A and B are shown apart, each in its own frame.
Chain A
Amino acid sequence: MNNDKQMRPFEQEFYAPKPTPFSLHMRVNPIWQLVRFLVLNIKMLIMVRKH
């Protein structure tokens, strides 16, 4: 990850939101991701059911 990389002011990346270490952790935290796994599957099923 380049989260700690020094930002170059006024370059492209200067204006983009960057995930905090907490967000990065939650993206791979197995317990939270299991919850998201269930939620995402439900969301996708709703999408499928809409047709």
Chain B
Amino acid sequence: MAKLLILGSGVAGQTAALHAKRKLGSKHDIIVVSPNSMYNWIPSNIWVGIGAMKKEQVIFPLAPVYKKQNIEFHQAKALSIFPEGDTSSSKPFVEIEYTDPSKLGQRIKIHYDYLINATGPKLNFPATKGLGPDGGFSYSVCTANHAEHANHGFQELIQQMKKGDKKKILVGTGHGTATCQGAAFEYIMNLEFMLRRHRVRDKAEITWLSNEFEVGDLGMGSMHIKKGGYITNTKTFTESIFTERNINWITRSHVTEVEKGKVHYENLNGEFKEIDFDFSMLLPPFAGAGMKAYDKNNADITSELFAPSGFMKVDADYTPKKYEDWKASDWPKYYNNPKYPNIFAAGIAFAPPHAISKPQFSPNGTPIFPAPPRTGMPSGTMARIIVYNIVDMIKGLEDRPVRGASMAKMGAACLASVGKSVLDGSAASMTVFPIVPDWERFPETGRDLNFTTGEVGLAGHWIKYLLHFGFMYKAKANPFWFIIPE
């Protein structure tokens, strides 16, 4: 009997756990460790943050799902990995600490034959002074609680605007190396839509502030699409949407500090500037979960398993290279650690070989460019492929992973909500292939123009709304959940 241990129950962890159970049945043990008792369908946090959905609609308790699936669940956080075991046993294990109130703080060891690290991002608010809702001055929508809190602030703002006050709203990235611009984009568009709904749009000055070189970069180095007889760029697409909605934009900026009502930032020219706000939602940069690793003699081997960012090292080419020398083949295929090949990382938890957007530095040496996004579809797909490879190895069909899931060979569909309404809502619907540009295969734009597309319309909103229910249904492992693709 083999033991598969999965750390994290977000998009990647939950996908991995359910597929593993389906493929392995009760002949093998599947164990999930995750600190939160609730699952959160993070993309819908955007709608919680503007009051279009309740927090309860985007979360559900995990324990009953795992019970139903006969998956062992520990509400705990992983602290350290011992891939060679320790002095008492050579069996690899992970040390965990319970967050479950009934066992709070207790630590135990969980042994494994295969490990999937799907711990996602640590929200690194401390990277920017004053950033974030916990002791800072800006809101976030990264968790359901953050989004609920942001909505309280937003509703207050609307009330003040209804009394005639003019307000300044700032949305974007709170650090020069932040990612997830797509989520911030959705938030600014939904917020603007809501202000129109409340008939206070004329009272708001809305500004986008980001670390992108140009709007529409989205951490993917932007995309080219065919539109109106031209091959055009997502910069044009995004500027058009912002202009249509009367949103100003400031790009190439690294937020250095957030004070009450004021953001300080440095731009790529090396200038230090500030901008006032009454309401701001700024996304933090991401780091890895911060686990440690030790060898059998208890020597610290964290740097062998994890990059300095805290993300897990996998089968990527981490050799430092100039942007011009980046290749699609730098990106990992199987997502396992070269030294400990039974340890895998899925979703945001794996360390990318480099950014996708071109690295840019201010004259002061400040890096101002987005980190690469790892959105829901690739996170789920790589989790599924990792599980298929592990299942083949457990069943003795293969002795190493054989199915690849490189982001340079994978496409993604992205539906960015720009207004939540069944009759007059809208979404920017984008497909991109491949996610990481492959300049050797597609010399013109780095991507396949037949499968890299974008359009704005109500249909995108319908799909996004249906996907909310579809993905919640799937994550709950309801009947035939596996028909719903990642």
> Is chain B found bound to chain A in the same assembly?
yes
The count of residues in chain B whose C-beta lies closer than 8 Å to any C-beta of chain A is: 36
Q: Which residues from chain B contact A17 at a C-beta distance below 8 Å? A: 236, 239-240
A27 to B, closest residue via Cβ: B457
Enumerate A1-51 residues with CB–CB distance to B below 8 Å: 1-3, 5, 12-13, 15-19, 26-28, 30, 32-34, 36-37, 40-41, 43-48, 50-51
How many Å lie between the Cα of A50 and that of B412 in the bound state? 10
Given contacts A27-B426, A51-B385, contact A37 B242 (CB under 8 A): no
Partner of B412 from the list A13, A15, A46, A47 (CB cut-off 8 Å) is A47
How many Å lie between the Cα of A16 and that of B190 in the bound state? 21
Q: Which residues from chain B contact A32 at a C-beta distance below 8 Å? A: 457
CB distance from B224 to the nearest CB of A (A): 15
Q: Which residues from chain A contact B60 at a C-beta distance below 8 Å? A: none
Cross-chain contact B240 with A19 (CB below 8 angstroms): yes
How many Å lie between the Cα of A44 and that of B243 in the bound state? 28
Q: Which residues from chain B contact A27 at a C-beta distance below 8 Å? A: 426, 456-458
CB distance from B455 to the nearest CB of A (A): 7
Partner of B246 from the list A5, A33, A44 (CB cut-off 8 Å) is A5
Enumerate B432-486 residues with CB–CB distance to A below 8 Å: 433, 451, 453, 455-460, 462-463, 485-486
Cross-chain contact A3 with B244 (CB below 8 angstroms): yes
Q: Is B162 an interface residue (CB 8 A)?
A: no
Most B-side CB within 10 Å, residue of A19, A48, A51: A51
Given contacts A12-B239, A16-B236, A16-B239, contact A28 B458 (CB under 8 A): yes
Q: Which residues from chain A contact B462 at a C-beta distance below 8 Å? A: 33, 37
Most B-side CB within 10 Å, residue of A36, A46, A47, A48: A47
Q: Is B423 an interface residue (CB 8 A)?
A: yes
Cross-chain contact A2 with B246 (CB below 8 angstroms): yes
Cross-chain contact A13 with B243 (CB below 8 angstroms): yes
Cross-chain contact A28 with B457 (CB below 8 angstroms): yes
Cross-chain contact A40 with B459 (CB below 8 angstroms): yes
Q: Which residues from chain A contact B381 at a C-beta distance below 8 Å? A: 51
A5 to B, closest residue via Cβ: B246
CB distance from A43 to the nearest CB of B (A): 5
CB distance from A20 to the nearest CB of B (A): 11
- Interface residues of chain B, those whose CB is within 8 Å of chain A, are 236, 239-240, 242-246, 248-249, 377, 381, 385, 405, 410-413, 423-424, 426, 429, 431, 433, 451, 453, 455-460, 462-463, 485-486
Given A27-B457, A36-B455, A43-B431, 8 more pairs with CB closer than 8 A: A12-B249, A19-B244, A32-B457, A33-B457, A37-B459, A40-B459, A40-B460, A45-B485
- Interface residues of chain A, those whose CB is within 8 Å of chain B, are 1-3, 5, 12-13, 15-19, 26-28, 30, 32-34, 36-37, 40-41, 43-48, 50-51
18 contacts between A and B (CB under 8 A): A13-B239, A13-B243, A16-B239, A17-B239, A17-B240, A19-B240, A26-B457, A27-B426, A36-B455, A37-B462, A40-B455, A46-B451, A47-B431, A48-B413, A48-B486, A50-B410, A50-B411, A50-B433
List the 10 closest A-B pairs by CB distance, nearest first: A16-B239, A36-B459, A37-B459, A16-B243, A13-B243, A47-B411, A44-B413, A2-B246, A48-B485, A33-B459
